[in-house]
Chains A and B, each alone.
Chain A
């Protein structure tokens, strides 16, 4: 079974520029998550999709961050304009279901963003 794919793996931009990240979840997984992981911290949820609908985006800075999951499969996360404090690893994860007894998340390798 192929894992969660993310691209690019690394990105360096200057502040005020825009950037986009792509994620392809495990085939058949209905739930997709985007996390921001700042160095030395745990992943922080930015947005959660169930199929192509948003379940939780309460911690997404909507003035500069946007995300979409067209057709309920792959997803893109965009930052426009970027700030220095956006430097982090952006992790995508997917789960086979959102309710029930378990909700294991399968993570991709992440995209390391550096904002100069």
Chain B
């Protein structure tokens, strides 16, 4: 099955700084690359995703970059705010096989 690794497992930044989380996957057939945010006591929520035919996608302070050759994609958050504090999961997927594999998460803490 797919092997997914996230780094770092924990990340602490000062408010206003940038944060980058990297996700490495093993299945070269993966073609859909989402990032989910999970706040305490809630289910994960999609914050941004990218497809294999695109190298980068941006949505306000959040961006995702994809390197299919190296089999990794990254979440970039700029101008971090305390409300960005949460656990972030990547979940690469081969849409033809229909199954997502989640990483073990990155706990982001933004200090005011």
Contact = CB atoms under 8 A, between A and B. Distances in A.
B98 A109 contact: no
Contacts of B105: 40-42
Contacts of A101: 32, 51, 95
Interface stretch (B12-20, B42-50, B66-74): B42-50
A107 B45 contact: yes
Given A40-B104, A43-B89, A109-B41, A99 B99 contact: no
Interface in A101-116: 101-110
Contact of B95 (A42, A103, A108): A103
Interface residues of A, number: 25
Given A99-B95, A109-B41, A45 B32 contact: no
A43 B102 contact: yes
B100 interface: yes
A77 B74 CA distance: 34
B43 A108 contact: yes
B98 A99 contact: yes
A91 B38 CA distance: 12
B99 A48 contact: yes
Given A42-B4, A102-B32, 16 more contacts: A40-B104, A41-B105, A42-B89, A42-B103, A43-B89, A45-B99, A45-B100, A91-B43, A99-B95, A102-B49, A103-B93, A103-B98, A105-B44, A105-B46, A108-B43, A110-B43
Interface of B: 4, 32, 34, 36, 41-46, 49, 51, 89, 91, 93, 95-96, 98-105
